[in-house]
Amino acid sequence: MTESIPVLDFGSQTAQLIVRRLRELGIYSELLPHDVDEATVRALNPRGLILSGGAASVYDPGAPTLPKWIETSTLPTLGICYGMHLISHTLGGKVEQATVREFGAATIELTNGGALFADTPAAQRVWMSHGDSLIELPPGFHATAQSSDTPFVAMANDERRWYGVQFHPEVVHTNYGKNLLSNFVTISGIARDWQPANFVAQAVERVRDQVGDGRVICALSGGVDSAVAALIIHQAIGERLTCVFVDNGLLRLGEAEQVLATFREHLHIPLIAVNAAEEFLSALDGVSDPERKRKIIGEKFIRIFEHEARNLDGAHFLAQGTLYPDVIESSAPDRKKGVTIKTHHNVGGLPADMQMQLVEPLRYMFKDEVRAAGLELGLPEEWVWRHPFPGPGLAVRLLGPISWERLETLRKADAIFLGELRNAGLYRATQQAFAVLLPVQSVGVMGDGRTYADTIALRAITTEDYMTADWAQLPYELLGRISNRIVNEVPGVNRVVYDISSKPPATIEWE
């Protein structure tokens, strides 16, 4: 059986990044609730444990506590941020509100680094995000690093193989974070033998166990996520899978035709196409609030899938290509301590009275892992490397009230942007790029006359995991050409701006 290092989730927005980093190191890992029972963890054949960060303070009433069975566990354990505070608080140390809070980049100095910091420099840049600090170590622990504001940035009990760090080694801004996690893997003595290909076989078995002899409808969007989900489920249950593609009127220019042609050519799975543009646009008429948009769209999708299921001999399962970033940002029911950043239509936007049971084989996967699985399953590269497109479509890229005229404006601008990126050979160099129609008009001059017209924002990002992202530094000449084409070719637009915000503090999408 595969060995693992599970991660206990105390509510950090980057908790799943810990799982991702372990998988990059060849270690199988899953994110489990912070109050998980010992039997569930033992079923994963653990060789170590990691306790994630979280938004709570250990001294708050109702704050998550350390499960009793872990207190006496012999497993090597690493506490990150809140996880470090929790170890300290539970074992007799002292945690208080910090005199100086630390958020963002900081420099730490090793005082007695030991095995966890092996082969890393004495001074290193890390990413902090905490309002509390450890002011007294628990018995048996010694300090291994400090910062100018925090005397106990890291601690260790080498005999027990228990460690704590105040910073977040899972984020890319911690320069030697992956080295630190790799050292913890070495300390745990686990074989580094997990690969994305293993995931496909495991996912197929999980689908078989869940579905049994039932029928499944798969919500096909045209992106790599839903396509990989469909292929995994098809391997598991064969012809008992039917894919449904819904044209909701919120797609990019020519997208419906492209998706249907590509799907039928490459996947060879039964497909139903539903044109529901009028139904969606009628329900969204006059709606500006992004959370309402997502919930309306989520419910409309479900009602269509339920209708199609009744025509398919009662398919009781609905498959989605949900990824873990969606789950984290939506604070799904299985993440009790998560904070809602925005409701994704396919997670928190689902109606409470939904009649179908969800099948989500990619629920705890990141985009790069899904792409690796897609290549393993034989998807064409142009499909595997398509930029993500949100389930609510252009509804969340058109800020303010939705109308067919505004959608057409956005579609044309977006097509120009993506077309120029491809022509410049930069489509693959960016991981997501799109246009946004702002609810802002401004004065301009066109043909010696005054205009008062719409503004288009361009967004292009680079990222490894979609949990953090930076803006793509596209050539000025390219941006100028795109702006010129949009203003000249898209009626009603006289201004183009470029978004240079990172994630965090912004999200990738605007809504």
- Catalytic positions are 81, 168, 170
Angle at Cα 89 formed by Cα 122 and Cα 117, nearest 5°?
A: 20
Spatial separation of the C-alpha atoms in residues 83 and 95, rounded to whole Å:
12
Enumerate residues 6+ apart whose C-beta is below 8 A from 350: 298, 299, 302
Burial class (CB in 10 A: 0-12, 13-18, 19+), 314: exposed
The number of residues in the chain equals 511
Alpha helix positions (H), 7-64 = 15-24, 38-42
**Rounded Cα–Cα distance for residues 126 and 173 (Å):** 6
For residues 472 and 461, give the distance between their C-alpha atoms in angstroms, rounded to a whole number: 5
Residue 212: CB partners within 8 Å, gap ≥ 6? none
Burial of 144 (0-12, 13-18, 19+ CB in 10 A): buried
Rg (CA), the chain: 25
Using alpha carbons, select from 77, 86, 110 the residue that is nearest to residue 10.
Answer: 86
Q: Under a CB-based contact definition with an 8 Å cutoff, are residues 48 and 77 in contact? A: yes
